Amino acid sequence: MARPRQERAEITRQAILDGAAIAFDRHGFGGTSLGDVVRNAGVTKGALYFHFPSKEALARTLIEEQFRVAEGISATVGSGVGGGLQTVIDLTHRMTHGLLTNPRIRAGIRLIIEFGSFTDPDASPYDVWIDTLRTYLTPAQQAGDILPSLSVPNLSTFLVGSFTGIQVTSHVRTAREDLHSRVIDLWNLLLPGIVPAHRIAHFDPAGSPACRTELGLAAGAPAAAPATAD
């Protein structure tokens, strides 16, 4: 009997998270009430409080949901498609796909921006992403895919900030319809400045073939290497 109860409890918990994600995505933290969450989830307030003691606890859980995008992705040491740098490129497209298709990720990103700005800022979600990128980019630099003169921590920080700005701008201008294209622009502009010239052709700004297939994206042309050799 314990197992069916546990399964029902988990189903209820997931319904609450889905209901909260819809509300936070539409109205933000300040504009969302627990009544909104209950209505969206189709549960009672008692059920909500059983799983989450407060609106902030719900928000923190949704903020953590975004990090699942990176779960199960291993950074392969070495150059070429599938290496650590291509993993990071793919990760930006996976996050883009999540923003377009997953209300939980959209809600988590909106909450991060709200919690990380102006009043009582919280930098921890940004720090998690920066550390995640470092784990992929460090072996990429050791393999010769990133210029040795560059600081991997600084590059990771720059990428997280750049993606954040790009997705916010895309959200405001096109409801993120052009976000994959803007991410491709980011990598086309960035790769010549961080990758040795003779290795640039190994990396696809539009995502690796496996990533594009998984996400249903159109094929893209790899960045062209500069005329001058490294």
| pLDDT lower than 70: segments of the chain | 1-3, 71-82, 116-120, 219-230
Q: Rounded CA gap, 199 and 189, in Å?
A: 15
Q: What is the pLDDT of residues 1-51, one digit of tens each?
A: 466 778 888 999 999 999 999 999 999 998 999 999 999 999 999 999 999
pLDDT of residue 119: 57
- CA 127, 132, 137, 143 torsion: positive or negative? positive
pLDDT at 47: 93
Instruction: Select from 124, 150, 127 the least CA-distant residue to 137.
Output: 150
* Structure tokens given for 26: 């539409």
Give this prediction's pTM.
0.82
Rounded CA gap, 49 and 55, in Å?
Answer: 9
| Helices 103-115, 124-142: crossing angle, 10 deg rounding | 110
